[in-house]
Amino acid sequence: MQKFQQYIDGGFSDGAAQFESRDPATGQVWALMPEARRDDVNNAIEAAERAFNSPEWADMTATARGKLLMRLADLIAENAGVLAKLETRDTGKIIRETSAQIAYVADYYRYYAGLADKIEGSHLPIDKPDMEVWLRREPIGVVAAIVPWNSQLFLSAVKIGPALAAGCTVVLKASEEAPAPMLEYARIFDQAGFPKGVLNVITGFAAECGAVLTSHPKVDHIAFTGGPETAKHVVRNSAENLASTSLELGGKSPFIVFEDADIDSAVNAQVSGIFAATGQSCVAGSRLIISNKIKNVFLEKLAEKAAAVVIGAPDDMATEVGPLCTIAQRDTAVNLIEQSVEAGAVVVAGGAPLKRDGIFFAPTILDCSNAHGAPCLTHEFFGPVLSVLGFDTEAEALALANHTEFGLASGVFTRDLTRAHRMIRKLRAGIVWINTYRAVSPIAPFGGHGLSGHGREGGLQAALDYTKVKAVWLRTSDDPIPDPFVMR
């Protein structure tokens, strides 16, 4: 059995306690994880604050910070295989996905390495002739970064990368569900040469770890990825320290297909949008909104694809869909499908867990044409379950797409350019993909609104979110300042 340690102030330790981690593909305990409790969290935050104020980090040039980030990117690329295997083992995410994603994670660090010395202030054309005024962008301070188990190396990169580029320090809480990749990442980070305390990596449970971290008076910003209900607790906790927040939350993203779309291309994109990562993605295209003119042929092709998906061990390169990460996800899917069928939804494919070791669930398609109030249309499954609605007009398609409390991602498939632009303007989502889906880049911002959160990750904006603006006034006149109490 493997044993992992937390990373605080440049050193590794066991933490206040330990807990077991299970392999989702077998259900067997495979590792012991460090459980951070109040004292561990306090130590990590104190270390981050010391590092933030130390000359070794605070006086380091932005260019030097960028070089350290570039070194980190190289180390991640060199260790991508080890990280991918650990993520697959601990989360059940298939190896072909973890390998590809972690290889790309290094590019995110390279992007922010290059951006570190390009975070600029500005000069103001002030309305006073004897004054020069400019704005400085300075690091916001100690950052509490909280990531879920799915895509955790990517979701941490879009927090750690811009935060360190801006000059902040970070306490990262990995998910207690599957923290192994982030704890191994800490070992890689330790080799990059950053001053101790700049990054601290812990994991633990809500009351003794998460709540302490997000309410701590020395935390200046909270970057959270997770579900809306947990995010509400995070925001309440932030009232204790008035930390700013960026929240990347869930989604119930519409995948809209018009009658003029390339059907085969759209089918493949829909398969990727809902069955890739076993549906365990915040941008999963979980609501197919399709023209009734092509609905039957589209669903027939989609059902064939779903039936042909290779389900198997996540560490097998031939596997296309692996297990769910937790039993709770499986139970949620079962309950929501049962309720949706009672509300009139029809199971087109799948619909139940697979009878095999591990937490496997069949790729599922639910036709909700006669079940517009079914819970599968409004609740995030975080699993391979697709809900389908037909439409007759563009206006109807738009209304169905926007009928959600979420607002993260959306996809539109059409050959009509003017229609595409109308949909881009009117879809209430932070991301609109046209004739593609799940495309990402370190250059492009990522995020949503409503129950999908606020703030952006990726791109220049993310780095700016880890800064605060200081206005500097310089009087240029040599004349003495007049006595303010002498009337003239």
- Residue by residue, pLDDT tens for the chain (488 residues) are 899 999 999 999 999 999 999 999 999 999 999 999 999 999 999 999 999 999 999 999 999 999 999 999 999 999 999 999 999 999 999 999 999 999 899 999 999 999 999 999 999 999 999 999 999 999 999 999 999 999 899 999 999 999 999 999 999 999 999 999 999 999 999 999 999 999 999 999 999 999 999 999 999 999 999 999 999 999 999 999 999 999 999 999 999 999 999 999 999 999 999 999 899 999 999 999 999 999 999 999 999 999 999 999 999 999 999 999 999 999 999 999 999 999 999 999 999 999 988 999 999 999 999 988 899 999 999 999 999 999 999 999 999 999 999 999 999 999 999 999 999 999 999 999 999 999 999 999 999 999 999 999 999 999 999 999 999 999 999 999 989 898 76
**300/386 Cα distance (integer angstroms):** 14
Residue 116 DSSP label? G
CB 443 within 8 A of CB 111: yes
Q: Residue 344's CB: how many other CB atoms inside 10 A? A: 14
Helix orientation angle between 152-166 and 180-190, rounded to the nearest 10 degrees = 40
Residues 244, 263 within the same domain: no
Query: Given 200, 234, 249, which residue is the final one in a domain?
Result: 249
Residues 114, 263 within the same domain: no
Number of domains in the chain: 2
**234/236 Cα distance (integer angstroms):** 5
Residues 116, 178 within the same domain: yes
227: tokens are 């579900």
Query: Given 216, 249, 282, which residue is the final one in a domain?
Result: 249
Strands laid side by side in the 131-139 sheet: 122-124, 131-139, 467-475
465: tokens are 């979110």
The verdict on residue 219 lying in a domain is yes
Residues 242, 267 within the same domain: no
Residues 298, 180 within the same domain: no
**177/199 Cα distance (integer angstroms):** 21
For the domain that residue 213 is a member of, what is the CATH number?
3.40.605.10
Q: Read out DSSP for 146-181? A: E--STTHHHHHHHHHHHHHHHT-EEEEEE-TTS-HH
Residues 272, 238 within the same domain: no
- The 3-state DSSP class for residue 121 equals coil
Classify residue 483 by burial, with Cβ atoms within 10 Å: 0-12, 13-18, 19+: exposed
CB 479 within 8 A of CB 175: no
- Contacts for 275 with CB less than 8 Å, ≥ 6 apart: 306, 309, 320, 321, 363, 384
Residues 276, 307 within the same domain: yes
Residues 282, 403 within the same domain: yes
- Contacts for 331 with CB less than 8 Å, ≥ 6 apart: none
**178/325 Cα distance (integer angstroms):** 8
pLDDT score for 373: 86
279: tokens are 């549906």
CB 182 within 8 A of CB 174: yes
Q: Which of 253, 258, 224, 235 is nearest to 430 (CA)?
A: 253
Q: Residue 469's CB: how many other CB atoms inside 10 A? A: 11
Amino acid at 98: T
CB 115 within 8 A of CB 109: no
CB 285 within 8 A of CB 271: no
> 87, 176, 248, 457: which is the annotated catalytic residue?
248
- Contacts for 479 with CB less than 8 Å, ≥ 6 apart: none
384: tokens are 């391979």
Question: Can you give the pTM of this predicted structure?
Answer: 0.95
Query: Given 415, 434, 453, which residue is the final one in a domain?
Result: 434
Range of the domain at 140: 2-249
The verdict on residue 390 lying in a domain is yes
Residues 302, 378 within the same domain: yes
The verdict on residue 116 lying in a domain is yes
The verdict on residue 187 lying in a domain is yes
The verdict on residue 211 lying in a domain is yes
For the domain that residue 344 is a member of, what is the CATH number?
3.40.309.10
The verdict on residue 332 lying in a domain is yes
Classify residue 138 by burial, with Cβ atoms within 10 Å: 0-12, 13-18, 19+: middle
- The 3-state DSSP class for residue 359 equals coil
Alpha-carbon dihedral sign for residues 40, 45, 49, 54: positive
Residues 222, 266 within the same domain: no
**109/220 Cα distance (integer angstroms):** 22
What is the phi-psi region of residue 129: left when phi exceeds 0, alpha when psi lies from -120 to 50, beta otherwise?
A: alpha
pLDDT score for 1: 86
Q: What are phi and psi of 158, to 5 degrees?
A: -80, 0
Q: Which of 276, 268, 272, 271 is nearest to 94 (CA)?
A: 276
**454/345 Cα distance (integer angstroms):** 32
Residue linked to tokens 């989604």: 251
Residues 138, 223 within the same domain: yes
- The 3-state DSSP class for residue 445 equals coil
Cα torsion for 398, 400, 402, 406, to the nearest 10°?
-150
Q: Residue 362's CB: how many other CB atoms inside 10 A? A: 20
Residues 406, 362 within the same domain: yes
The verdict on residue 458 lying in a domain is no
Q: Read out DSSP for 175-228? A: -TTS-HHHHHHHHHHHTTTPPTTSEEEEE--IIIIIHHHHH-TT--EEEEES-H
The verdict on residue 466 lying in a domain is no
pLDDT score for 372: 82
Strands laid side by side in the 2-3 sheet: 2-3, 29-35, 17-22
pLDDT score for 113: 98
Does residue 177 have an active-site annotation?
Answer: no
pLDDT score for 374: 93
